[in-house]
Amino acid sequence: MSGNKRPSDSSKTNMAMPKARNIYQDDDAGKMVFLPEIDNPSKQTSFSRGICCNAPPLTDSDKKIQLIKMLCLTVLPVLGVWSYSVYMLSDTISLKSENEATRKALVYSVELGKLVHHLQKERDMSVLYLSALRPETKTFLLAEYIATDKAITRLPVWPGNLDKLDRTEFSTRANLVQHLNRRRQSLTPSEVYIQDEIDFYTRIIKVVIVWLYDSINESKFAVVWKTLVAYQKLTSAKEDVGVERALGTMFYANGGFENHFYYQMYYSRVHNFRAYYKTAQLYSDRVRLLYSYVVSEAGNNLTDIIDSFRSEILHNVKDGNNTFPEMQKARWWFDNMTMYLDTLLDVQQDLGEEILAILDTVIEKVQTDLAVSATLLVVVILMCPFVIYMTEYVTSVFHKYALTLIDKTKELAREKARTDCLIYQMIPKPIADQVKHSKNIKPEYFKVVTVMASDVCGFYKMSLECSALQIVDLLNTLYEAIDKLSETYNMYKLETLNDCYMAVSGLPDRNKYHVTEVANFALQLIDLISKRQFIVNEDRIVQVRIGINTGPCVAGIVNTVMPRYCVVGETVNNAARMMFYSTANRINISHGTYTALEKTGNYILKKRNKLGKNTMYWLIKKIGNGTNGTNENKDSIISSISSDSESDKSEPTPDQSNSAEESQHEDIPFPFRARLPMPNYNEDDDVHLSASKQDMFAETQPKPEEVVAPTLTFQKPKDENLADQNDLAKDAQCINVKIALNLV
């Protein structure tokens, strides 16, 4: 019988329950609870895994991967901040170093400026000594010599390598001092000319001024570059004023210049001073302010006096007028120019102090930034272990939560699968899916279906003789076997009421093989019962009787609180009648089912004695695999079951049949057993199958309002043609038997 499943049916929806293993488990109250076990619960819950952080940490390796990802999200920004802090710290340190180098260069330039000033003063004093205004001794020069030597000694660095001519007198401090001492010792009015003395000191001063320019140019601080340029220009202007003082002193002491060369020198020095001084004022407004302030302290007419002397020198030389020596004017000129040089020195020193103050402020700010950067770096370094610890802690918490969530999700999936399984047991899967989506399920009319009803013979007597646990175990074993068998057929189980098992094919998915499906299932069920031998109470062998009917019905969802899939119609009633008039391990079918099976030619069918106006048939066996069986095959099979011929001859009359069944099911009340006489029934009530081009199971469709209610009542037959109705009336249990067919 296992070959009854058609290959074409494999693509159809199986109307049996979803495949699940039924297990029973003790609940808290000690009761047996039905739990459908899902084949693979792990498939119910799946998590995608990718390169992002969307995969839950299920194992320790997953946790480590998640920890690495979390560290990438947290530690990398911290490392970025740490790198930025290191960069800022190094940049601040570099800036601080540059500022300190600039400050050192500026301090060095200030010292060089002081050296220039002392060399200028020593030069002027030497020129004064060589002029007619000279004192009798060189005692007044000693103080200037000492001041110049101290200025040379105070230089923090000796820039001997800055001399482009690589002269030995500028290679070291000692060489320069020795060079000056030799000149000082040889200074006598009779042996040294004034011009030679001026040139000697001027060469040294030019070298020192070059050192000053180079030291300032090496600094890279942009904030004070204008002030530094003004400082340089003012230093150069001061050098020109010093030469001018010496030449002017010589002019008044000698009564004029010896030749035109001195005039050109004086003229160029005056104009160079004015150019340098004007440039210094353009680069720094403070030069003008300081100059005005210092000059005002020295006397408002200082510049006017100097300008008058300059004008006198220039005009006398220009007009070619030779004058006689004027010692008094020479002294006035020297004193005023000395005061003017001191004023320029004060302005120069104020500019240097201003630059140093600016640099000190910037250096202080840089030091503050350095402290902040260092503090930030320390904080970032200390934060790294804390961030790593917190990341590991959070990852561990997430790991626990993920495991809990996975367990809950799997539990929810299992519960959902169990719920779905229970729903599919109550309602067909297509209908249940619509119910779960809150769709409105309307009753549906099915033109033709095949219903099978079966029960256990002598069940009421078994229930009296056996314990309740034995009965439950028997029914569980029997129904599990039947359910497992039904999984291979396109059928839907309608109801199991005590020992009654009802199934249908052709709904809710319509198919044209419903008759053969039910027939094959019934034959295989009889074969299963015969071979397996379900035994109860160690001596009773279970037997079943089966009835099959084909016809129309209406099916739909009834009730909203506890919905049930209900199938109503005379087709269901007639299937129950077929079962009641069947015998042990035999299949009783109606005329409509007989007609449909006869057309296939694959089944051995045997007509029973007519009960009333209705004809019923025995379904004996199946032959062939889809082709019509030949008469020879049928005759050979019929002849092989000779025992059936004897039973045919002894087919009981209605009275005899009822008497035999009455002896078998004596005193068995409903719902365990009901013995029903055949009601008024004729062949027109069966579904006649036509061989025409119409539908295989065409039948006049009843109106919806004509469909009978789910509760069915079998009345006492009134057909006078039935023999011995008085004998049937003795059994009060055959009257007004109501069968509740609220089928789920």
Phi, psi of 593 (to 5 degrees): -65, -40
Query: Is 319 inside a domain boundary?
Result: yes
SS3 assignment, position 247: helix
Q: Are residues 238 and 312 in the same domain?
A: yes
Looking at residue 675, what DSSP letter applies? -
Phi, psi of 507 (to 5 degrees): -150, 155
* Cβ neighbours of residue 291 closer than 8 Å, sequence gap 6 or more: 343, 344, 347
Contact between 410 and 29 under an 8 Å Cβ cutoff? The reply is no
Position 451 scores a pLDDT of: 94
Contact between 341 and 241 under an 8 Å Cβ cutoff? The reply is yes
d(CA 666, CA 732): 12
Query: Is 366 inside a domain boundary?
Result: yes
Q: What is the dihedral of CA 15, 21, 22, 26, to 10 degrees?
A: -160
Closest CA to 600 of 550, 564, 565: 550
Position 383 scores a pLDDT of: 81
CA distances from 603 to 420, 523, 588, 630, 643 (A): 38, 10, 13, 11, 18
d(CA 382, CA 81): 12
| CATH classification of the domain holding 590 | 3.30.70.1230
- For the chain, what is the domain count? 2
Position 323 scores a pLDDT of: 64
Contact between 487 and 19 under an 8 Å Cβ cutoff? The reply is yes
Last residue of a domain, one of 354, 378, 402: 378
Query: Is 59 inside a domain boundary?
Result: no
Contact between 501 and 454 under an 8 Å Cβ cutoff? The reply is yes
Phi, psi of 247 (to 5 degrees): -65, -40
**pTM: predicted TM-score of the whole model, two decimal places:** 0.46
Q: Which domain holds residue 233?
A: 83-378
Contact between 693 and 540 under an 8 Å Cβ cutoff? The reply is no
With a cut of 70, which residues of the chain have pLDDT below it?
1-58, 132-137, 160-163, 216-222, 294-295, 297-300, 317-323, 537-540, 611-612, 624-744
Position 354 scores a pLDDT of: 84
Query: Is 369 inside a domain boundary?
Result: yes
Position 211 scores a pLDDT of: 84
Closest CA to 248 of 234, 262, 268: 262
What tokens does 731 get?
A: 């059994």
* Cβ neighbours of residue 660 closer than 8 Å, sequence gap 6 or more: 652
Beta bridge partners of 619: 605
Last residue of a domain, one of 378, 399, 419: 378
Phi, psi of 40 (to 5 degrees): -140, 85
Position 633 scores a pLDDT of: 45
Beta bridge partners of 37: 21
Query: Is 180 inside a domain boundary?
Result: yes
What tokens does 506 get?
A: 């052709």
Looking at residue 603, what DSSP letter applies? E
Query: Is 52 inside a domain boundary?
Result: no
Residue type, 226: K
Q: Are residues 341 and 448 in the same domain?
A: no
